[in-house]
Amino acid sequence: MSSSNTNTKKTIAFLGASGGVGLAALTRAMAAGHTCIALCRTPSKLTDRFPEAQYPNLKVVQGNAHDVVAVARCLFSPSPSTSNSPVAKPVDMVMSSIGGQFQFAKMTIDDPHVCENGMKTLLSAIDKVRRDHAAALGEKQWRPRIIVVSTCGISKAGRDFPLATLPIYKFMLKVPHVDKLAMESLLTGAAAEKDYSYSIVRPSLLTDPAVPDRKIRVGVDEKPEVGYGISRDDTGRWIFENLLGIEGAYENRVVTITW
Ligand SMILES: NC(=O)c1ccc[n+]([C@@H]2O[C@H](COP(=O)([O-])OP(=O)(O)OC[C@H]3O[C@@H](n4cnc5c(N)ncnc54)[C@H](OP(=O)(O)O)[C@@H]3O)[C@@H](O)[C@H]2O)c1
């Protein structure tokens, strides 16, 4: 799909952009001219790569994705001074690709509730912004769009991974998958009440490095595409080309992507 999102410049908050998928999406969103605000526990991971002088449309905020105040700072923030929209305003979109580090010795991740707690925090931060900036937001409800990276292997509609990978999905990745299910449940369960829209992206197993020109197959809701893997770079690229900055695309849908 072409980069049709280059026509409408948006303000996008990124949670987890120092990692593989997030970085791939952030890099392209900046190049397309979107105003980007990235929350990062270690800002130098982004500022070393993207110095402010060369990337005026990126603002890096130091903080943890489990800290409501830090996340709220990314959702309603003065944009970088040289951006298209230098006044303080709420973001149009949030992309979250946070995740834990796998620990093979224990077959778990370093933070078993990283995504669940991240989603709780994000939803609380949206509430906080609405409370704290009620006057600036005015009567028109701020309706952010939330894009999250989840995973294959948790679909209730049936098997969305090849049979040969069943031991990986059902045993090895059990802990992160329980976490992803909890995250998705929080996100989908509160959408109507809290008035936001979402897209859930479920990639198959993530690989490095990038492989050029691989076709990406896309399944929606109960009709997932089944595949072995996809690179982190292609996952971030697909999100950029199909979701970031594009209003209404895959709104309130679960999207499976794989090579
Ligand atoms: N591995 C797979 O095969 C697979 C398959 C499907 C889906 N997924 C999921 O896809 C998502 C993206 O994967 P990835 O490989 O791009 O992840 P990654 O490279 O491990 O990056 C994870 C990101 O999350 C950030 N993060 C974690 N906890 C945080 C916290 N409390 N506060 C702020 N930032 C935090 C990390 O920041 P720091 O730089 O500070 O650590 C990093 O930027 C993850 O949720 C992953 O579980 C993985």
pLDDT digits (tens, 9 = 90+) for 175-191: 999 999 999 999 999 99
pLDDT-derived band at 106, boundaries 50, 70, 90: confident
- Ligand 1, closest atom to CA 176? 47
pLDDT of 140 > 90? The answer is no
To test the pocket of ligand 1, the residue of 122, 206, 235 to mutate (highest count of ligand atoms within 8 Å of its CB) is: 206
Q: pLDDT: is 84 or 94 the higher one? A: 94
Q: How many CB atoms lie within 10 A of CB 88?
A: 11
CATH number for the domain that contains residue 150: 3.40.50.720
What are the CA-CA distances from residue 80 to residues 24, 33, 132, 222, 255 (Å)? Answer: 21, 12, 21, 41, 32
Q: Is the CB of 89 under 6 A from ligand 1?
A: no
Q: What is the pLDDT of residues 224-243, one digit of tens each?
A: 999 999 999 999 999 999 99
- Ligand 1, closest atom to CA 102? 1
To test the pocket of ligand 1, the residue of 119, 151, 174, 254 to mutate (highest count of ligand atoms within 8 Å of its CB) is: 151
The percent of residues above 70 in pLDDT, for the chain, comes to 93
Q: What is the pLDDT of residues 55-88, one digit of tens each?
A: 999 999 999 999 999 999 999 976 555 555 556 8
Mean pLDDT of the chain: 93
pLDDT of 113 > 70? The answer is yes
* Cα 139 to averaged position of ligand 1 atoms, centre (Å): 36
Domain containing 236 equals 4-258
What's the confidence (pLDDT) of residue 141? Answer: 85
d(CA 45, CA 26): 13
Q: What is the pLDDT of residues 161-171, one digit of tens each?
A: 999 999 999 99
Residue 71 tokens read as 């996340």
For the chain, how many structural domains are there in total?
1
d(CA 18, CA 48): 11
pTM of the model: 0.95
Write the CB contacts of 54 (distance below 8 Å, at least 6 apart in sequence).
none
pLDDT-derived band at 1, boundaries 50, 70, 90: very low
Residue 137 tokens read as 């937001």
